[in-house]
């Protein structure tokens, strides 16, 4: 085929062999999708209730890009987070607060509804004490 026109708009005419990329930030700032305040920092707009349109379809949300254009710093950030956690565990003692009544045990204590995020959160607050190691 010689090329393609998307949605009939002449500015979206692509020839055979053209490479097409999506700049995620421009998608997130689209006022037709996210409203007149699209450039305002409102993280709640990306909660499940905020990214579903009135018709039930999901709004586009690409926080770290995709494919070969994923965030280049994601691996560096993950390693940095692990390094900070290791230093924290090396220099501090962490224990459950004995003055607080904690849940006893078992997997029922973990919220399994958000398991896809890679972290299972407790179903009720957990009070801990952190002290610097001597």
- Given a cut of 60, is residue 1 above it in pLDDT? no
**The overall pTM is greater than 0.85:** no
E-only strand ranges, 81-134: 92-96, 110-111, 121-122, 128-132
Dist. CA 64–CA 99, nearest whole Å: 42
Q: What percent of the chain has pLDDT over 70?
A: 57
Q: What integer pLDDT is reported at residue 50 of this predicted model?
A: 59
State the average pLDDT over residues 28-40.
83
Write down the mean pLDDT value for the chain.
75
Q: What integer pLDDT is reported at residue 71 of this predicted model?
A: 74
For the chain, the C-alpha Rg in angstroms (whole number) is: 23
The listed range with the strongest mean pLDDT (8-17, 43-52, 69-78) is: 69-78
Dist. CA 126–CA 108, nearest whole Å: 14
State the average pLDDT over residues 38-61.
70
């Amino acid at each position: 085929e010689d090329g393609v026109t998307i949605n009939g708009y002449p500015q979206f005419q692509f020839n055979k062999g053209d490479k097409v990329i999506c700049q995620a930030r421009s998608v997130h700032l689209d006022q037709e999708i996210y409203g007149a305040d699209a450039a305002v920092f409102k993280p709640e707009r990306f909660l499940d209730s905020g990214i579903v349109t009135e018709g039930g379809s999901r709004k586009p949300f690409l926080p770290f890009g995709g494919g070969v254009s994923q965030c280049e710093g994601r691996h560096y950030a993950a390693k940095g987070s692990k390094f900070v956690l290791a230093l924290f565990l090396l220099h501090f003692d962490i224990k459950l607060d004995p003055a607080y009544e904690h849940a006893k045990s078992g997997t029922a204590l973990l919220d399994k509804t958000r398991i896809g995020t890679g972290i299972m959160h407790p179903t009720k607050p957990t009070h801990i004490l952190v002290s610097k190691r001597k």
